[in-house]
Amino acid sequence: MDLNQLYTELILEHSQSGHNKRHLNSADCTQRGHNPSCGDDITLELKCDGDKIEEASFTGSGCAISQASTSMMIDLITGKTLEEALELAGKFISMIKKEITDEEELEVLEDSIVFKNISNMPARVKCAVLSWHTLKEAVGKQ
């Protein structure tokens, strides 16, 4: 895989800007997620209004891929209902598993589509899906 396709400007921006990396004042739900084998370790925080994700953020450390994927996910799910967020998680994971390849169907993932090619890098797949698995666990608990 070409590094240009992996470390795109978008990914680098998200991994470095840290605009979603902070504590929420009054999170309803805090969920830790980790990849023990590589050390990615994030904590996702959600603040909901009824069924709707009003605000989301994360803390923790990890590689550029895991950090960017988490940050983009937060952009995407903010304002969505929990159900919609779960659906997006399913889409994202299916994209990585190459179960969904149709670009149109993936459009709802917006910027997160950049991770499509990561399925060609088995060693990095876990980094990209970490935040989405964490989200699923968080929502499952609600």
Partner 1 sequence: MKKFDVKQIRKDFPTLSQKVNGKPLVYLDNAATTHKPNFVLDAMIDYYEKHNANPNRGAHYLGVSATELYENAREKVREFINAKSNKEIIFTRNATESLNLIAYSYGMKYVEEDDEIVVCISEHHSNIVPWQKIANLKKAKLKFIYLNEDYRLNMDEVYTKITDKTKIVGIAQMSNVLGTVYPVKQIVEYAHSKGAITIIDGAQSAPHIKIDVIDINTDFLVFSGHKMLGPMGIGVLYGKEELLEEMPPFLMGGDMIEYVEEQNTTFAELPHRFEAGTPNVEGAVGLTAAIDYIEEIGLDNINTHGHKLTSYALEKLMAIPYVKIYGPKDLDNRGAVISFSVEGCHPHDVSTIVDTYGVALRAGHHCAQPLMKYLNAPATSRISFYIYNTKSEIDIFIDSLKNVRKWLGYGS
Q: Name the site residues for partner 1 (rule: CB under 8 A).
A: 1-3, 6-7, 9, 12-13, 15-16, 36-41, 61-65, 121-124, 127
CB of 2 to partner 1, least distance (A): 8
Closest to partner 1 by CB, 53 or 68: 68
- State how far the Cα of 29 lies from the Cα of 48, in Å rounded to an integer: 8
Report the b/e string of 88-110 with b at 16+ CB within 10 A. Answer: bbebbbebbeeebeeeeebeebe
- State how far the Cα of 115 lies from the Cα of 22, in Å rounded to an integer: 23
CB of 18 to partner 1, least distance (A): 12
Closest to partner 1 by CB, 46 or 128: 128
Strand, coil or helix: 114: helix
CB of 96 to partner 1, least distance (A): 16
Closest to partner 1 by CB, 10 or 106: 10
Strand, coil or helix: 63: coil
